[in-house]
Amino acid sequence: MSKGKRKLVILLCSVLIAIGVLFLDDEKKLSLVTSLGVMAIFAILNLNLLVSEESKEIIHKTNQKINKQSIFLDKKVNESSDSVVTSINNHSDRLAVLMEIHNQLLSEKEVHQEEDLLKVFLKIVEVRKLLSKRVQSFQNLNRSILETLRRFETEVVSGLVVTDGDEYERSRRLHEIVGSSDSHVYAVTFDNDEYLADFWSKVFAKEYIEANLDAVKRHGKVERIFIFNSKLIKDDDLGINEKISRNRLLRISKSLVQGGCKVYWIYKHDLTKELRENTTSFLVSDGTNSSESAGQCNGRNIRAYVHYDNQNVARALEERFLLLRQCSNEISIGEIQSIQASLGEK
């Protein structure tokens, strides 16, 4: 059926419906409407059946494109949703970290601790801003911060810091231990391989002596033993390094004694064989913190270390200190001044 004929059929049906509605009784109206309805349905079905194969192919391809576009859009929407969720999670994690930092600051018992921590955070932010456009430097900064924190965390957990080969680092930590001591400090300087001249260098000696004197003012108990060859005091024929050692021994001893510390001297030849073979210098504070230089102890090589919060190590060093103190002589200001006078020193 052509398009024109279908229109004619529809028009004729409309006219017949109008006539039926105006002139026929109800029963005949129903019969006419039913017949015309069947004709209309047939016309519509016929229209659909007359669609050409080419048109069907076009419709099919169009539907495929629509389906593909729909799938693509669904995928984009899903990806976008995933991205939004990931971003929200990342920001939530960062917020949680910031809240943890905030809570930690609030929980600090002392105000200065909170201020110190804030200074650290602000300095990190400041440096990161300076390096924001330098990718490699920025990465190095992050790596350095993380490595330092991990190393510090390890030290806190184990309490042991091996400083073998880095006497400056050990000296720095000794300064901190003495500076934070609460009850007592026992220390021994064993002048082995010119250790007296090397350890008590001019800059460090001044700061370290001050830390010892401050500790005496706090708790009143700092005792130091110096072990050395008698020739430092009794002989005039000394090498340059030996003269430096003697000069530092006298000046350091005098400053410590004047400041209230107890200072003991021992000549190496006055030690028992066992004690003489233990060549390490060491320090112990408050019965918990301790340190020992590299050297020989109990027939084995000792690597330099600092030990925090270890009562067993501290107890062993305190026992050794007490044994050495039994062999030593406490030195007075008068004796030091007398030796200086005999040597022509002030």
Rounded percentage of the chain residues whose pLDDT exceeds 70: 63
Assign domain 160-342 to its CATH architecture.
Answer: 2-Layer Sandwich (3.30)
Tracing tokens 């080969």 back to the chain, one arrives at 165
C-alpha torsion 329→334→335→338, nearest 10: 180
Computed on alpha carbons and rounded to an integer, the radius of gyration of the chain in Å comes to: 47
Report which secondary-structure segment, H or E, holds 280.
none
Q: What is the pLDDT of residue 338?
A: 93
State mean pLDDT over 133-156. Answer: 74
Would the pLDDT of 196 be above 80?
A: yes
- Choose the most confident range, by mean pLDDT, from 21-30, 99-108, 332-341: 332-341
Which of 253, 246, 248 is CA-nearest to residue 212? 253
Q: What is the pLDDT of residue 48?
A: 43
Q: Which residues pair with 285 in a beta bridge?
A: 185, 289
Which of 93, 101, 197, 161 is CA-nearest to residue 303? 161
- For residue 71, the SS3 value is helix
Would the pLDDT of 220 be above 80?
A: yes
What band does 306 get if pLDDT is binned at 50, 70 and 90?
Answer: very high
Strand-strand pairing, 262-267 and 222-228: parallel
The Cα–Cα gap between 111 and 105 comes to: 9
b vs e for 115-134, b when ≥16 Cβ sit within 10 Å of the residue's Cβ?
Answer: eeeeeeeeeeeeeeeeeeee
Q: What is the pLDDT of residue 45?
A: 45
Q: What is the pLDDT of residue 50?
A: 41
Q: What is the pLDDT of residue 271?
A: 92
State mean pLDDT over 116-123. Answer: 75
Least confident of 2-16, 79-93, 234-248, 287-301: 2-16
Q: What is the pLDDT of residue 84?
A: 54
Q: Are 163 and 153 in contact (CB under 8 A)?
A: no
What band does 323 get if pLDDT is binned at 50, 70 and 90?
Answer: very high
The Cα–Cα gap between 34 and 45 comes to: 17
What band does 47 get if pLDDT is binned at 50, 70 and 90?
Answer: very low
Least confident of 43-57, 101-115, 118-132: 43-57
Rounded percentage of the chain residues whose pLDDT exceeds 90: 35
- Residue-averaged pLDDT of the chain: 77
What band does 287 get if pLDDT is binned at 50, 70 and 90?
Answer: very high
Report which secondary-structure segment, H or E, holds 335.
helix 333-342
Strand-strand pairing, 262-267 and 305-307: unpaired
Q: What is the pTM of this model?
A: 0.60
Per-residue pLDDT tens for 49-102? Answer: 444 455 556 556 655 665 565 555 555 555 555 565 566 666 566 666 666 666
The 10 Å Cβ neighbour count of residue 189 is 20
Which of 262, 252, 265, 263 is CA-nearest to residue 209? 252
What is the residue extent of each domain of the chain? 3-48, 160-342
